[in-house]
Structure 1
């Protein structure tokens, strides 16, 4: 059995417009936006009477995509605590390689981005950081040095 590709990573958000704006500022493009509902959708995700809206974001000229989902019914569940630490079980973060971490952070801060820790240097190879975006999403950024 062969895996052909990783198609996308799904992220549940509470404000779809804010998440789209955030990831657009990061450099992704909106590929499409549509409602998802009906018995077929509920049977896939295991939620009766499910109604949601998704936005597919893609990396320009690249294979990576994010599926942002806003659940209207049933409403999304907020984890306890709402802001979970980096060692919480489950999907942890999505990492993006960027040209300039400081510029990227400056562009994302008006969209609610906050550093989780600080920008750190790994040897002479990378600048790295974790940041929290809309709906508590954790992103990692990596800037290759030299």
Structure 2
């Protein structure tokens, strides 16, 4: 996998959130013109894109803010049993510390608990900026 794409409204706030989670900003640029629309099927477009790399460089998030054409749908607050892409899951060293740090960026647990899956993981889902659904997993032991 090369990257997961997420469309956002406030690119700076979302970059700050994922930086707090430990991702590093690789770059931020504008992608404009009909050539890009040939890939997406949207025609002439103007999109600001930021690419963030996970620690170790194994994965990336591509964050996109569409200037034109305008965003036509909003699925960010859909419940976890909705069809389509669900969430991005990150493994963290300390889930409690991570939740505390992400809380300063407005993150909130989807439920009130961090749950334990056998003796393997502590897990939770949270909503980050703009309602983005993120999963956290901390290995136990």
TM-score range, shorter chain: over 0.9
Aligned to 2:126: 131
Aligned equivalent of 2:27, options 21, 27, 32? 32
Cα 1:78/1:134, change in 2 over 3 Å: farther
Instruction: Give the distance between the partners of 1:83 and 1:39, measured in 2 at CA.
Output: 31
Query: How many angstroms does 1:137 deviate by?
Result: 1.2
**What pairs with 1:1-146 in structure 2 (closer than 5 Å)?**
6-79=1-74, 83-117=77-111, 118-146=113-141
Instruction: Give the distance between the partners of 1:79 and 1:70, measured in 2 at CA.
Output: 13
Instruction: Structure 1: give runs of 5+ residues left out of the alignment.
Output: 1-5
When normalised by structure 1's length, the TM-score is 0.91
Give the number of aligned pairs.
140
Query: How many angstroms does 1:74 deviate by?
Result: 1.3
RMSD: 1.2
Q: Is the 8 A contact 1:10 1:66 kept in 2?
A: yes
Instruction: Give the distance between the partners of 1:107 and 1:141, measured in 2 at CA.
Output: 13
Q: Is the 8 A contact 1:126 1:143 kept in 2?
A: yes
Query: How many angstroms does 1:142 deviate by?
Result: 0.3
Instruction: Structure 2: give runs of 5+ residues left out of the alignment.
Output: none
Moved over 2 A (4+): 77-80
